[in-house]
Structure 1
Amino acid sequence: MTRFFAAGLFVLWGCLAATAQTAPQLASPSPVASAPSNTGVQDLLQSQSALIVASSRQTIEPAIDAIAESGLAQVQAVLQLWQDKKLVLRTSDHVFFRAEKNADGRYDLIDLDSGAMVGVADKGDLKLIKPNSGVRAMIGTALVRFQLEDPDLSIRQAAVTSIGRDPSAAALMPLRASIASETDEDLLALKRRAERLLTIRFDTDPKARVGAIEEMSADLGVDVRATLNPLLQTELQIHSSGAPTGANVAAERRIGRGIGAEDAYAALVARDLAPAALGADEIRSALEANIADGRVAGIPLAQLSDPAMRQQAYDGLVAAGLARPAPTREEMAEAVAGYRYFDIYEESSLAVTDAAETALARINRQVGFNQAADLTLDAMSLASIYFLAAIGLAITFGVMGVINMAHGEFIMMGAYTGYVVQLFISDHTLSILVAIPAAFAVTFGAGIAMERLVIRWLYNRPLETLLATFGISIALQQLAKNIFGTQARPLTAPGWLDGAWIINDVVSISYIRIAIFVLALGFLGLLLFIIRRTRLGLETRAVTQNRGMAASMGINPDRVNMLTFGLGSGIAGIAGVAIGLFAKVTSELGNDYIVQSFMTVVVGGVGSIWGTLAGAVMIGFSQKGIEWLNPSNTLAAQTYMIVLIIIFIQFRPRGIVALRGRAAGD
């Protein structure tokens, strides 16, 4: 026995010695690469090696979960390497590394646990782990839990954005866990909001979901509505008796109320609960399949062009058992009456659907109110544009009685002046500040020249004035084409006017429109000051009220006409700069505003600043209201607006604010 025991010890000792000698050879197949430490994340990867190498979406989930839930410090980095296709496997011993190509064209092997370089390998000795898009998405979901608590704020923000873009039940608990440790107030608010939305969709506790729904019922965000709407999705279910047991029934459809008889029968056919009605294709196929000796059921083919003969032939096939009979109307009605039709919520919890329905009703009311506010802002913005475009025309038309068809071209000249200024001044803020007085000066001078050279000879001759200014309009357009070409020119707004003031997901207005609104208010105040507080304004009002009496008091009507025409033209130039910030600057720019300008002046009251403002508001709100009622056809909306204005003028021909004094009777 002792001899056998000693022999056994000798054999055991030999085996241990052999293992000790061969182990280094297995762990170090290359003389330039040592083995990594066999603790930590490497052991974890080795335990899931087969699944990782296979990288199949159907089987990889346990491996990802095991790595993500291990609690090891290196897990986030390893998952990131795996997702980025930077994880490699040394084929000789199936050990995982991070590989970096060196200057020799070989690869430095970085240990995943220690981060130290532990060897060098050729490309042929390594296998790159390349997960497909589905696996990368699953890895990304696992990474979210680490990214949500990453020290880098930008990474945490990106993680929350990723959750919002692709919400999933797996992200709910990590997101909740990260809220307590979040230090950034803005990101904390985003996390809480995202957590509420995920709770509504994925939480298993109906009470928690109802609480989240009630909490978000005042939020007008599109994502909130996108989260609530699926909770109220229904499917039509058909039952031969009462309502299905345990189902969350939204409503029962009655024949003629909620569902038509034809739709009900089609639903029965789709569920194989009733035979399908005969279609023309089925009849034709049956006839073609049973042609014999040039006849079908004894009827010659030549006669089958007659629908009655085709039906007779098909009835013959039915009688012979060669085609299926069509269900009669009585049979179809009986089939429909034999079932009950229910809309069943896809969401099983009644409390959740009730809360979602209440919340959506509240949100929709608020959305409607905010849509009205947004429409009002749009209308005010459009009214300010029309006011700027028309105020110069109101001055010239009201004081001088001149129908200036070239007023739109003064707007175009102002826009082109702004463009030329920006060619020399690259700072867009400074260029706009320079362009406004420059446009006024250019169009003021052009207006005075036009009045001195043409208009002064045509006073009290409206038809000749209209034709002359129309010709000048065409000439100015052609001149602009010759100078600037037909291509639209950019008039770039300053950077601080980019974007929009976003109040919520429903109400917003661009900063350019706000600036134009402020500019319009500024000009309203300036013109009121000029008209009421300056000598020019006094003389202008005097000429407007009674031209002869003003001349007898020492006022020069010709001088007033010249300065007034120049002032109106200069204001049109400033309007051109403002309009050019959001519209295309072309030679036809004025054509888009001349009609609206005349309508604004006529509706508001000729010669009245307040009337021009009232007319701009009326036209702006009318146009936006009609466009809201008929959003698919803007041209039709403008046509309807013109019709409304014509009707309005029939009842108030002098406009909203009519002139007072003797001029009112002229």
Structure 2
Amino acid sequence: MQHVLRIAITLAVSLFLTPAAQAQGVSLQDILQDHAEQIADPSRRTVGETLDALVSTGHPELPDFLTRWQNREAYQRDSDGLFVYVEDEDADPVVLLDISTGEAIGTAVSREVTQLRPNGGVRRVIGGALVQFQLAAEEPSTRLAALDAIADDPDESFLPLVEARLGVEEDPTILARLEVVLPGLVIAFAQDEQTRIDAIRTLDGNVSLDARATLNRLLSTRRYVAETLPDDANIATILEPGSSALSREDAYDMLVQAELAPPLISRAQQRDILAANVIDGRVGGIPVATLNTEAARDTAYAALVEADRALPIPAAAEIDAALSAHTFFDAYAEASQPVTTAARLTLDGIETRVGIYRFFDLSLDGISLASIYFLAAIGLAITFGVMGVINMAHGEFIMIGAYTGYVVQTLISDYTLSIAIALPLAFLVTFALGVLMERSVIRWLYHRPLETLLATFGISIALQQIIRQIFGTQARPFTPPDWLAGAVTINDVVSISSIRIAIFILGAIFFVMLWLILNRTRLGLEVRAVTQNPSMAASMGINPDRINMLTFGLGSGIAGVAGVAIGLFAQVTPDMGSNYIVQSFMTVVVGGVGNIFGTLIGAGMIGSLQKAIEWLNPTNTLAAQTYMILFVILFIQFRPRGMIALRGRAAGD
């Protein structure tokens, strides 16, 4: 610590010396040669003085040399002691580089140069010196790395440097980091109690992991046992043996470890002791053949205790007396009670806010999952509602849409452009397949639900096998562009991936488009007419077969678009559609068939409930699916037509 403190002081002095050093034209090589012996063979005890001297020069090339020295990338030429870098350390001979210009100055075989290899202690001291330079670096990432290093290995000498940086820093990300690192240093090293308390209060409302870690360190406790409570201890909790916080067994173990009570002897230990004291077929004068009951073994063991050949077994009354005669408590490692009180109050407020943010984060996850289910289910809701067809191949249309995106991306290297092309192309491909499927199979099976279900299930298997034959069974990469690869982070608690946001926006766009189509176009009018009463619609000149064909194609096309969106974050495999078909049906059933508002509500309920179940039981994701199916079964007992019931088709049927 003293060495690092001296380095901090000399760095401040160097700010005034730097112009002079540059004016004199002193090279870094000349400065290093003045301390060549100490640099070549440093020790933890002497390296601090060497660094003091180097930093005091304020040479602008020094930080790069210190970094390379710390990383064991610096060398010394044996012939003249010149410090150099090498171009390729694995080559032989190596190309030697000038430490100032980086230009080649010759070559040398491995035995002609010596690598500078400081040990771990020396490297830590060098790292402390580098922090001073890194905090003033122009690159924000370098300054941020310096603050991370300070937080990982805090030192009192860093306190004035961090305070000075806080006064001039403009980058908001680094400012947020400074506002946590500085209180941590003040709390750890300030001598005045009120100053530490004020630093703790500055963290109020800060939900970052660093802020919580700083406060948790202050509130760390150790468990003690004593005859009476010590006057100088900062007591956190007084424990009662037999409570949920401290069992009687654990409390007595503490007494034994503190040598305040004799140890308990288990039955197994008792048998081992008896076996070790068998003499001429007897233990304590009792024949071994008679030790076939616990009472006999207790008698033999008591004889060994009287002969001082075994430790006595504490009776229950003795255990109770020992526990009653001592006090068990948790004490803070921090000695100041006002400091721990302030830390506890601040942390409690932060945890309350963290709970609110976690609920918000869980809600975002639920909305994100709901948008995925909405995209996957909206096509199914349309075909199921208008045509009454249970399409078990709906998941395969999602899969085909994902593979369409993959194929487009293999042809177009620009990921953004490939997605822009894949979305409409996937709609057209799956729309055409849907129309083909409706014309060739579905149209002959209307009003025959069992046959329709079996036929579409067979088609789903056939489509999976076709895709396996074309693309194989391995997952295919469908890479999102860079602007979708990250996440929007509000704080250390709340974040959501950019892909999920994009899918939510895509779902909203499709919701608006479908609402406009169904409510503001002639096609939508005819779809609603066929949905409510197909016989009456036919009598009014509407062709129900044409509407059914277009509706099935529209639902299939939307599934293809959903496949492109889902493929950006899920594995593109031949059976990926089966992962969404169950959720799609649950969404449609809960929301109400044939109604986009019902599908939206159903997706929100299914997505939110699934995320809530996963949060309650995070170690078993399969349980969420099971509970969701049970929920749907119970739900349809009370609302068999879903949240928004469709009117008309039941009357028409």
TM range (shorter): 0.7 to 0.9
The CA deviation at 1:319 is: 2.2
Q: AA paired with 1:529? A: L
- Seen in structure 2, the aligned counterparts of structure 1 residues 609 and 480 have a Cα distance that, compared at 3 Å, is same
Summarize the Cα distance change of 1:433–1:87 in structure 2 as closer, same or farther, 3 Å threshold. closer
* Corresponding residue for residue 98 of structure 1: 83
1:283 to 270, 275, 281: 270
Per the alignment, residue 12 of structure 2 pairs with: none
Q: State the aligned residue count.
A: 622
Shift of 1:255: 3.6
Q: Which moved more, 1:320-329 or 1:642-651?
A: 320-329
2:452 corresponding residue in structure 1: 465
- Match of 1:259, SS state, is coil
Q: Which residue, out of 605, 613, 637, partners 2:592?
A: 605
* 1:429-468 CA distance string (max 9 Å, x none): 1111111111111111111111111111111111111111
> Counterpart amino acid of 1:63?
E
TM-fit CA distance, 1:573 = 1.0
C-alpha contact (below 8 Å) 2:48/2:125 kept by paired residues: no
Hey, what's the Cα distance between the residues in 2 that align with 1:77 and 1:428?
A: 38
Which residue of 409, 423, 442 maps to 1:455?
A: 442
Name the structure 1 match of 2:226: 239
TM-score between the two structures when normalised by the length of structure 2: 0.86
Aligned-pair CA distance for 1:89: 8.5
The one of 515, 525, 542 aligned to 2:502: 515
Q: Does 1:250 align with 2:239?
A: no
CA 1:568–1:497 in 2, change beyond 3 Å: closer, same or farther? same
Q: Show CA shifts across 1:232-283 (max 9, x none).
A: 1111222323x31222222222344553333222111111111111134542
1:209 aligns to what?
196
1:128-277 matches, cutoff 5 A: 130-150=117-137, 155-180=142-167, 182=169, 187-241=174-228, 243-257=229-243, 258-277=245-264
User: What residue number does 1:550 align with?
Assistant: 537
Look up the equivalent residue of 2:262 and give its one-letter code: P
Q: CA deviation at 1:153?
A: 5.6
Residue in 2 that maps onto 1:538: 525
In 1, distance between residues paired with 2:616 and 2:94? 69
Separation (CA, whole Å) in 1 of partners of 2:314 and 2:578: 65
Q: 1:291 to 1:631 in 2, by over 3 A?
A: same
What does 1:346-357 align with in structure 2 at a 5 Å threshold?
A: 346-357=333-344
Which moves more between the two structures, 560-569 or 315-324?
Answer: 315-324
Given the superposition, is the C-alpha separation of residues 403 and 101 from structure 1 closer, same or farther in structure 2, using an over 3 Å criterion?
A: closer
Aligned partner of residue 239 in structure 2, secondary structure: strand
Alignment of 1:627 onto 2:599? no
CA distance in 2, matches of 1:227, 1:97: 46
State the TM-score, normalized to the length of structure 1. Answer: 0.85
Equivalent runs, 1:367-382 vs 2, <5 Å: 367-382=354-369
Structure 2 gap ranges (5+):
1-26
- Which residue identity does 1:369 align to in structure 2? I
Contact 2:75 2:86 in 1 (8 A): no
Separation in structure 1 between the aligned mates of residue 490 and residue 291 of structure 2, nearest angstrom: 69
- Pair 183,626 (structure 1): closer, same or farther in 2 beyond 3 Å: closer
User: Which range is displaced more, 249-258 or 395-404?
Assistant: 249-258
In structure 2, do the counterparts of structure 1 residues 537 and 342 end up closer, same or farther at CA, with 3 Å as the change threshold?
Answer: same
Distance 1:85 1:467, change over 3 A: closer
- Pick the aligned partner of 1:566 from 550, 553, 576: 553
Question: What is the alpha-carbon distance in structure 2 between the residues aligned to residue 106 and residue 574 of structure 1?
Answer: 57
Range with greater deviation from structure 2 (139-148 or 221-230):
139-148
Cα distance change on mapping 1:387 and 1:107 into 2, 3 Å: closer
Per the alignment, do residues 98 and 394 of structure 1 end up closer, same or farther by CA in structure 2, a change over 3 Å counting?
same
Provide the C-alpha distance between the structure 2 equivalents of 1:579 and 1:100, rounded to a whole number of angstroms. Answer: 50
Contact 1:658 1:664 in 2 (8 A): no
Aligned CA-pair RMSD: 3.5
Q: Which residue number corresponds to residue 424 of structure 2?
A: 437
How far apart, CA to CA, are the structure 2 residues paired with 1:659 and 1:490?
Answer: 40
**Cα distance between partner residues in 2 of 1:105 and 1:591:** 60
Inter-partner Cα distance in structure 1 for 2:399 and 2:108: 71
| Counterpart contact for 1:60–1:135, Cα < 8 Å | no
Q: By how many angstroms is 1:643 displaced? A: 0.7
Q: Identify which of 389, 401, 413 aligns with 1:426.
A: 413
Matched, 1:396 2:410: no
Q: Contact conserved, 1:98 with 1:109, CA < 8 A, in 2?
A: no
Shift of 1:413: 1.2
- Matched residues in 2 for 1:99 and 1:508: separation? 46
Pair 477,38 (structure 1): closer, same or farther in 2 beyond 3 Å: closer
Query: Deviations for 1:406-431, whole angstroms, at most 9, x for unmatched residues?
Result: 11111111111111111211111111
SS at match of 2:240: strand
Q: Say if 1:244 and 1:39 are closer, same or farther in 2 by CA, change over 3 A.
A: farther
Q: Is the 8 A contact 2:533 2:651 kept in 1?
A: no
